[in-house]
A and B are shown apart, each in its own frame.
Chain A
Amino acid sequence: MQLAKNKRNAIAVAVMALVLTILYLVIRVILMVVSLQSTVNEVDQLQKIASTKDLAQISAGLGKAADAIAMADASAKDPLVQLAGYLPVIGADIKAASIVASDGRLVLQGAQDVSNIANQLIKAGIGSKPLTDSTLVSSMRESMSAMNEAVQKLNRDLAGVDAGSLHFGLDQRIGSAKQIVSALANASARITPIVQVGTVVLEQPDTKRWFVAIQNLSELRGTGGITGAYAILTAKNGKVKLDEYGSDKTLLKMGGINYKNYPEELRDIWGVDLADWRDINASAHAPYAARLMADGWQQKRGQKIDGVLFVGQGVVSELSGAVGAITVRGVSVEPSNVIDFLSKDIYAKFTNVQVKDAVVGELAKEMFSRLVSGKVSASGFLKSAAEDTTGDRIMAWAEDKNIQKLFSNYRVSGEVSEKFGPNVLVTVNNAGGNKLDAYTFVKLDYVLGICNVDTFTGYQGRKSRVTVEIENRAPKSGLPAYVDLRLDDQFGEARPKGSNRDLVTIYGPVGSESETITVNGEDEFVSIGTDRNRPIWVFEVTLLAGEKKTLVIDMVEPINDDNQELISGAPSLIPPVMLNSPSVSVSSIGECRLQ
């Protein structure tokens, strides 16, 4: 009797505990949903405030939204709520809401920090006046970097949510959030490196002279494109001055560069003249070209260059968004047309090469003049970044080791790593002397395959494959003469209009070796060398208008290092900096173990 009573009591307690738990869970989930709804309302308000361009108000609005989402995040982090993510039917909804709450909170907090600091920097007259508080600039960089990480995480996490499995209208909301966040992630990934480099330039307490190489991605090089124009900036303690600007013709007139410091084994791998300003950035390792540019300026102008910044049409379009429309010789160059203008239209509009070069120089001058005077629009900057579809990215080099370390830490140094690891780089160097790479598209794939294969280079290894599909989408006719030139003097080879010739370089992992090399399935002869301790294979690819070729290297790459220790790290493939954003895929059949 007593036993039965105890049993009944126990069941009653258990049921009550279960009911309370469910009740608690329901309350937590409701709190999360209500807080998220409140966040959405605050964000809606924020959009209205954003049109006023008042950073103080925007910052306050972001603060309210961050406060609202903090409550949702607290609920999302509750172990019971997290456990509920595994429930059937509503589990996916709870998980999706939790992702938005947790990741979204970090994004909003980051955005609030960034807008706060930006407001202070603008008030301090950044760019045009010396800084009174130098820590503001580095705070801006750190906040922007943190916000970017948060945005990228939110984007990754949301991408993993199957909107189709959600209920209560969440499917539509998450579907639309995915699109917005994806665009934001694209913009953030493009803007953050520019802010990282810009703030490093601004915060230097001593005068530094920077060479800005404005690359033309219509004629590709290892670091991006041929240097079509340049600007010389001096910066000290937050104040920037535009000293000089010009086109590549000015550089060429200076004469050849003494390149004795360039790695000897690389001097003829691409068949380039390193004394020639147009040729010096053939390697993917940006510091090589930067050093040559600095040496060249010192040799020809007697001025020390403290750092070099590489920018192409993509970065220029973002800067264009920041400074607004510029009218050059009757043409209004604005964020919406600057990429096409600089990569295609300029050649049709200004057929005289000297005039075309002058237009580039004038555009560069006006753009940098506005930038250094602080006449910039943050919303324009963000909008143009979100709309940028190029494969451009900023790279920076500094003579000062500490500054270079910063660039390296932020991964904007363009350094090719000499360390072991499953990472591959691909570059394209134009070998036709034309501007047809505006029509070049590449699709890249890196697959890590079977294990237990030794390399001949002394390591335990695995098989891997790199595939490069390269396509020339140029038309067969109708392009300005300057665009579809073929200046290469290839013996006996037809060079019809619209045809192009590129040197595609694949940088293998340190210690890797090739087993087979093919183009369109046929064995191919390639030029082979080493760059930055990596084997490199240089394919000479000629493409008719509309033609596509598939280059494949089957490799064996190390899984252990020189100390016979297992190499760790996710595989990566760094694509070429180019006008048409490359398609990249990386996959692995799994980790290998040492035998």
Chain B
Amino acid sequence: MKTKLIALSAIALLSASAAVPALGYPAGQAPVLGLSSASRIIPGDNITVQVSRVKAGCSVTVFWVGEGISSGAKTVKANGKTGAFSLATPGTAGTYTLSTNSISTTCSGGDAVTLTKSVTVGRLASIVTKVSSTSAFSSKNPTFSASGTVKSGSVAVASQTVTLSLRKDGTEVKSTTATTNGSGQFSKSFTGTTYAAGDYTVVVTLESGAVYASSTKTSAKLKLR
């Protein structure tokens, strides 16, 4: 299951408040950072956001943490909502943190709060991989290799470098890189190491680039006796 990948996907915007907001009965009273059509974001495109449930007259700013991209301040209207912020996304694919300024106790109606959302900009790739060895016995001094395919939907992710991390019982024993061909396929052997008995997996990582955000996939286990 590509749980981690999905969790970081463009639509999976994990809310992670830096301070305790005004939570309590009934639901839905705390300030909230709302987004509209925030999926399928191409790097550099604008997204629109709105902060609501804040006291009228308070000032709110939205920005990308560490990216130097800020919305400028907006004043909260009588209905407790800011107008729509239009904010450019970073130009490189990846996962970024969208944040508000600190909303004071007076403005939040509860504890002071900084609202943040983790947003993935760009496409994600889907990786299929498997690990194999020339023998199932460590005494035979086998060679491990990893192979697989990187696609984004129906499109092969070609000419991209993937990092292959061979792990024994979860700990890395060897790492290498491979480049995908025109069909998005890659294959690479791990050489120059002897292997002890145990469960081996390969973790394949596609790093962020201009189009694709970082993706990771772990292969099924291969037992070496």
Mark A509-541 against chain B: 1 for CB-CB distance below 8 A, else 0: 011111111000001111111100101000010
Q: How far apart are the CA atoms of A563 and B78 in the complex, in Å?
A: 50
Is A452's beta carbon under 8 Å from chain B? yes
Q: How far apart are the CA atoms of A456 and B126 in the complex, in Å?
A: 10
Q: How far apart are the CA atoms of A492 and B56 in the complex, in Å?
A: 7
CB < 8 Å neighbour of A455 from B13, B35, B77, B153: B153
**Contact: A431 with B52, CB < 8 Å?**
no
Is A562's beta carbon under 8 Å from chain B? yes
**Contact: A272 with B15, CB < 8 Å?**
no
Is A366's beta carbon under 8 Å from chain B? no
266-291 of chain A: CB within 8 A of chain B: 268-273, 276, 278-279, 282
CB < 8 Å neighbour of A429 from B28, B49, B217: B28
CB < 8 Å neighbour of B6 from A457, A488, A563: A457
**Contact: B39 with A456, CB < 8 Å?**
yes
**Contact: B25 with A452, CB < 8 Å?**
no
Mark B33-51 against chain A: 1 for CB-CB distance below 8 A, else 0: 1111111110000001110
Is B54's beta carbon under 8 Å from chain A? yes
Most chain A Cβ neighbours within 10 Å, of B17, B23, B76, B153: B153
**Contact: A528 with B154, CB < 8 Å?**
no
Comparing B63-71, B117-125, B139-147, B191-199, the segment that makes contact with chain A is B117-125
Q: How far apart are the CA atoms of A273 and B80 in the complex, in Å?
A: 21
Nearest CB on A from B19, distance (A)? 10
**Contact: B153 with A458, CB < 8 Å?**
yes
- Chain A, interface size category, equals 35 or more
Is B10's beta carbon under 8 Å from chain A? yes
Is B221's beta carbon under 8 Å from chain A? no
Is B91's beta carbon under 8 Å from chain A? no
Is A433's beta carbon under 8 Å from chain B? yes
CB < 8 Å neighbour of B80 from A493, A524, A594: A493
491-513 of chain A: CB within 8 A of chain B: 491-493, 501, 503, 508, 510-513
**Contact: A489 with B29, CB < 8 Å?**
yes
**Contact: B14 with A265, CB < 8 Å?**
yes
Nearest CB on A from B62, distance (A)? 12
Residues of A within 8 A of B48 (CB): 523, 525
Nearest CB on A from B43, distance (A)? 11
Given A454-B154, A460-B153, decide whether A432 and B126 contact each other with a Cβ distance below 8 A: no
Residue of A nearest to B26 (CB): A433
Residues of A within 8 A of B14 (CB): 265, 529-530
Given A268-B15, A454-B152, A516-B37, 7 new contacts (CB under 8 A): A457-B10, A488-B26, A489-B29, A491-B80, A513-B11, A527-B32, A527-B34
Q: Interface residues, chain B, CB within 8 Å of chain A? A: 1-3, 5-7, 9-17, 21-30, 32-41, 48-50, 52-56, 76-80, 84, 109, 117, 122-126, 128, 149, 151-155, 215, 217
Give 21 pairs: A residue, B residue, CB < 8 Å, sorted on A. A265-B16, A268-B15, A272-B24, A273-B25, A279-B24, A429-B28, A431-B27, A454-B153, A456-B9, A456-B122, A458-B9, A488-B29, A489-B29, A491-B76, A501-B28, A513-B9, A513-B40, A526-B34, A528-B15, A533-B3, A562-B126
